[in-house]
Structure 1
Amino acid sequence: MALGHRARAVIGSIAAAAALGALLTGCSTSSDEPAEAAEQAVEVDPALRAMLPGELLAESTRITVGTESGYPPFEYTNEAGRIVGFEIDLFDAASDRLGLKYTFHDMLFDSLLGELYASNVDVIAAAMSDTAERQADYDFVDYYNDSDAIMVPAGNPEGIKNLKDLCGRTVAVLTGSTQEEALAGLNAAECQDKPVEVVQFDTDADALAHVQEGKADAELTQWSTGAYNAKQVGSGDIFEVANTEIINPTPLGFVFLKGDVELVRAYQAAVQSIIDDGTYAEILKKHDLSAGAIEKATINNQPQG
């Protein structure tokens, strides 16, 4: 099967999924399982479904979705072993609007773009920031606005308030993230005399644990994830977000391979549809994320005509 200009992997073959090998770190879940999403039913819109590539219109077709399930509140694994979260609910609602089934593959964040480029997955749903650099090879359907959080131990013993305060300190970060890039830029611009010692981790949880163990002064992560962890880890008295000013605001989006025009436009229209009918606001409220709401679903952060 082909989507756009590349051959695509569809979950008709378990052997194809197994080729990901050690990169697969968790379970798979599909949209035809009982949804833990918004209570409002999301019905198929025939006009939007008709926007899908023809090869995806067969009832038996599933696309594959790459994710990294250690990033609450966007994606995480519940006690039943199911991947849940804000982005999961949102992708589920958009897919239901299109009448399109899918299966998740849980893998390391740093491997996601490579697996998409190799056509081992059809789309990424992993709270990924839409940046100009990534747009060179990928297209984004933006669904949320977020920024960065500096996570520190409760009480902020080092008095860290902003990015410049990280100069000369050890900072943990998720490998392959825009936060890692931000720290590299900080070293080049502000911290040349006292560079940040950047320690990379495969998961956000491991990066945060490095702070808890006293091996790093701070972690740089996305604001929504940092705020969630500050409230949820322990009794809410282990970590706090140090910065009060907005750092590195950027949209987040579902990620597609460059050239999958029909699939991108279909998901953009589906996300806009659930914004317009109130489903989006309901999902945001469920996850306490209304502060980052958007009014228009964009492609590559550009208004749609």
Structure 2
Amino acid sequence: MTPLTNRFRAIGLVAALAATASLTACGSSSDDGDKQTATGGTALFKTLPKANQDSGKVSFGALWETPPIISVTASDTTKPVGLAPDLAVALGEELGVKSTWQNMQWPAQLPGVQSGVVDALFGQVNVTEEREQSIVDMVPFYKTTMALLLPAADADGVTRIADMCGTTIGAPVGSETVAELKSVSAAECASEPVKIKEFQGATLAISAVKSGSIDAWLDTTASQVAAADADADLASVEVPEDEIAPVYNGIAVGKDKPELTKALVEALRALIESGRYDEIFAANDSSAAAITVDEVVANPITSTPVGEK
């Protein structure tokens, strides 16, 4: 077990139970306005797109079933909880707006932000070169390794994806994780390729692991640790960095909203400098995934100018 996995181990039972409850909330929306101050009155407010100034809101989309980043509680599936919602409230205060949320299945997310269904995606979007140069502008807020979730009885001897050659591994549908898994399989499992099954979200994938219809589920380390801590029959195995490098998770903003991207960068940097960012990460058992103020730049992989492809 690596030091990073040990730090993620702090994520516990409550987060994993919240992921199960979130399945009933798909398609719903939420307004976190009751947690936030009145709109306007900040320097960054004047830099926002006119539509956001007029509405006094910024709308975010995510699938509410990936704790500790975002999920719901069993007692209230109508509002998201976790790292992203808490950060959104704090960002809203810096921007002088309220945050609203839309619960969106992964396949609908990137088309949704491009078409204006929401202003930004905040939860499941990994920062990639392709996305920065063609689809969205990315603002990194979280950095994580990847991990396999598999039955505890099958975990002995499994230390990397190469130990799973010939098995069936689940991954989020249409995600960069699928491409990474294919690449590792081609490089390390040529004679017995990994079979890949794509899932809409973690809840169904974890059920598939437990039923035996897939051998493992590949997702972010924090989420896998939460699931394993909640169920003694499951185990989390962190994927070594020589197979899949740590990835940034980012706030994804449509290329047609460069003012919003720039404002989010400045707001997030302000939260880090004030210490509030670290407090939010600690409160959500995610300190291991925190990034530095110098890492908060738009499109960090390619340095593509905001709003350009």
Output the TM-score relative to the length of structure 1.
0.82
Which residue in the other structure is 1:53 paired with?
49
Task: Label 1:140 to 1:157 Cα distance change in 2 as closer, same or farther (>3 A).
Answer: closer
Q: 2:87 aligns with which of 87, 90, 98?
A: 90
CA RMSD of aligned residues (A): 2.4
Q: Distance in 2 between matches of 1:243 and 1:224?
A: 10
Contact 1:42 1:97 survives alignment (8 Å): no
Structure 2 distance, partners of 1:212, 1:44, is 49
1:158 offset after TM fit, Å? 5.6
Identity of aligned residues (%): 27
Instruction: Give 1:245's aligned residue.
Output: 240
* Superposed displacement of residue 257, structure 1: 0.9
The alpha carbon displacement at 1:155 in A equals 4.2
Q: Is the 1:153–1:211 Cα contact (8 Å) retained in structure 2?
A: yes
CA distance in 2, matches of 1:177, 1:45: 39
Counterpart residue type for residue 144 of structure 2: D
Separation in structure 2 between the aligned mates of residue 34 and residue 50 of structure 1, nearest angstrom: 22
Change in Cα spacing, 1:148 to 1:44, as seen in structure 2 (3 Å) is farther
| Residue pair 1:69, 1:106 contacting (<8 A) in 2 also | yes
Is 1:140–1:300's contact at 8 Å kept on the other side of the alignment? yes
1:276 aligns with 2:273: yes
Counterpart Cα distance in 2 of 1:218 and 1:285: 29
- Equivalent in the alignment of 1:294: 291
The count of aligned residue pairs is 273
- Alignment match, 1:129: 126
Distance in 2 of aligned mates of 1:238 and 1:26: 31
Aligned ranges for residues 93-108 of structure 1 at < 5 Å? 93-108=90-105
Q: 1:43 to 1:62 in 2, by over 3 A?
A: closer
Q: Is the 8 A contact 1:62 1:103 kept in 2?
A: yes
Name the aligned partner's letter for residue 164 of structure 1. A
Deviation at 1:123, TM superposition (A): 0.6
Contact 2:155 2:235 in 1 (8 A): no
Cα deviations by residue, 1:105-144 (Å, 9 ceiling, x for unpaired): 1111121001112222211012311011111211111111
Deviation at 1:242, TM superposition (A): 1.8
In 1, are the aligned partners of 2:146 and 2:239 still within 8 Å (CA)? no
Is residue 2:224 matched to residue 1:226? yes
1:184-236 deviations in Å (ceiling 9; x for gaps): 212333222211111111111111111111222211111111112222x23xx
Amino acid at match of 2:264: Y
1:188 is matched with: 186
Greater helix share, structure number: 2
**For 1:265 and 1:62, how far apart are their aligned partners in 2?**
16
The residue matched to 1:206 in structure 2 has which SS?
Answer: helix
Which amino acid is 1:185 matched to?
S
Please give the residue correspondences for 1:1-305 in structure 2 after superposition, counting only pairs within 5 Å. 25-34=26-35, 46-58=42-54, 60-78=55-73, 79-81=75-77, 82-135=79-132, 136-157=134-155, 159-231=157-229, 233-234=230-231, 237-243=232-238, 245-246=240-241, 247-296=244-293, 297-301=296-300
Distance 1:265 1:150 in 2: 35
Instruction: Specify the alignment match of 1:19 in structure 2.
Output: none
1:157 Cα offset (Å)? 4.1
Runs of 4+ in 1 over 6 A off after TM superposition: 41-45
Distance 1:293 1:74, change over 3 A: same
Q: Aligned partners of 1:101 and 1:43: how far apart in 2? A: 7
SS at match of 1:117: helix
- After TM superposition, give the deviation of residue 42 of structure 1 in Å: 11
- One-letter code aligned to 2:33: D
| Partners of 1:44 and 1:96 within 8 A in 2 | no
Unaligned runs of at least 5 residues, structure 1: 1-23, 36-40
Separation in 2, partners of 1:200, 1:97: 38
- Give, in whole Å, the separation in 2 of the partners of 1:141 and 1:91: 13
Structure 2 Cα separation of the partners of residues 194 and 43 of structure 1: 57
Point out where structure 2 has 5 or more consecutive residues left out of the alignment: 1-24, 305-309
Q: State the secondary structure of the residue aligned to 1:120.
A: coil
CA contact (8 A) 1:87 1:127 kept: no
